[in-house]
Amino acid sequence: MIRLFLSLLIFSCFACSEAQELKLGAEKMDKYLPLLEGKRVALVVNQTSTIGKTHLVDTLVSRGVNVVKVMAPEHGFRGEAPDGETIDNTKDAKTGLPIISIYGKTKKPSAEMLADVDILLFDIQDVGVRFYTFISTMHYVMEAAAENGKKVLVLDRPNPNGMYVDGPVKDDDINSFVAMHPIPVVHGLTVGELANMINREGWLEGGVKADLTVIPMKGWDHSQTYSLPISPSPNLPTDNSIILYPSLALFEGTVVSVGRGTDHPFEVIGHPNYTLGSYSFTPQPNAGSKYPPMEGKECFGQSFVGTEASYEFTLKYLLQYHHELKDDTTFFRDYIDLLAGTKEFRKQVESGLSEEQIRATWQPKLDAYKAMRKEYLLYEDF
């Protein structure tokens, strides 16, 4: 009897382990290949769009899928272009497929681009932060598809910051490519979950609805951490930088360097006039940043390299640096309003409010968002 119990226990644990093995949306080909049969397909992908070590483009072409073009987001098809750099149209050397840029002058696919397309497939690794531009690209892809009668297929991937929700929700009077949706800084959704939210909440221009299908993952939930096998962009090269990104990216709207032009972007912060830090670095042009802020100037501050970053959105670093630098320089740039998603944030910091006081002002909208978010979850929540 004891042997039988142990055997059942071992089998149960094995089955549980098997059930929890992560299977990405892209890996569930039995679910989406039938949807591509006989269709002219455009792929919205980048270097993260892989199945194992093989790029999705190569996999689908080898399976006989009629891929007619690739559409590339910020950083390009291979993910090598610096932040903000315009991406040019080109051809994929391996397959000969045309690569159409949808970052730069044209961020939304045009009717002409979609004339020879039946379905747009989106498969890009996101990091779960409102101002990270891949979700804005997804929005425009869905919008263009809805306006031109095309289908959209989203292959879901984990959110490495998907185990919490925090930060101010974007106000209606703040709108840009880094501030498109009324969601908090850390939105706690996968791209598939967010695509459903965008569609059903009527956030596409004119309230149009995309003909959308999301292929969910298997074996993932919002309580899990996830180490990205491929860097999503040149300036988020490590797990630590991705975890720190929600908080440290606010410094992009200030005079403080976040380490662009160094080996540790979004793992160091500093400024030439900051006197409290024991760490220093000097930004120089590199592959990830041709013109880094504070180029050639020694910046003093702190390093998080080698530390175990916490999954949290915090204002403590920004408030600390503002306190020390506000009398020496104009601390904020206009970009801070887009990152924070509200014009009130800058005023709150400049008036000397504490983090607790600032948080209290955004809590009602954050609570409302959290309630709405639950309606769109495809996976067990944290």
Confidence band, pLDDT 50/70/90 cuts, at residue 85: low
Confidence band, pLDDT 50/70/90 cuts, at residue 58: very high
Average pLDDT estimate for 39-50: 96
Confidence band, pLDDT 50/70/90 cuts, at residue 110: very high
- Domain assignment present for residue 16? The answer is no
Residue 98 is classified by DSSP as E
Contact yes or no for 217/26 (Cβ under 8 A) = no
CATH assignment at residue 204: 3.40.50.12170
What pLDDT sits at residue 7?
A: 42
Query: Do 197 and 255 sit in the same domain of this protein?
Result: no
Share of the chain above pLDDT 70, in %: 92
Query: Do 170 and 279 sit in the same domain of this protein?
Result: no
Instruction: List, for residues 214-235, the tens digit of each pLDDT value.
Output: 999 999 999 999 999 999 999 9
Contact yes or no for 217/379 (Cβ under 8 A) = yes
User: DSSP 3-state assignment of 280?
Assistant: strand
Neighbour-count burial for 89-111, b at 16+ CB within 10 Å, e otherwise: eeebeebebebbbbbeebbebee
Confidence band, pLDDT 50/70/90 cuts, at residue 82: low
Average pLDDT estimate for 20-27: 94
Query: Do 307 and 334 sit in the same domain of this protein?
Result: yes
Domain count, the chain: 2
CB-neighbour burial class of residue 201 (10 A; exposed 0-12, middle 13-18, buried 19+): middle
Tokens matching residue 116: 């020879």
What pLDDT sits at residue 315?
A: 98
Residue 24 is classified by DSSP as -
> Residue 118's domain spans which residues?
25-227
Query: Do 205 and 253 sit in the same domain of this protein?
Result: no
Query: Do 71 and 166 sit in the same domain of this protein?
Result: yes
Distances (CA, A) of 117 to 39, 69, 137, 205, 305: 8, 9, 17, 21, 45
Instruction: List, for residues 246-275, the tens digit of each pLDDT value.
Output: 999 999 999 999 999 999 999 999 999 999
User: DSSP 3-state assignment of 289?
Assistant: strand
- In the chain, how many H helices and how many E strands? 10, 14
Contact yes or no for 109/71 (Cβ under 8 A) = yes
Contact yes or no for 50/230 (Cβ under 8 A) = yes
Say whether pLDDT at 4 is over 50.
Answer: no
What pLDDT sits at residue 311?
A: 97
> What pTM does this model have?
0.91
Say whether pLDDT at 75 is over 80.
Answer: no
What pLDDT sits at residue 74?
A: 75
Query: Do 198 and 246 sit in the same domain of this protein?
Result: no
Query: Do 176 and 91 sit in the same domain of this protein?
Result: yes
Q: Tell me what the pLDDT averaged over the chain comes to.
A: 92
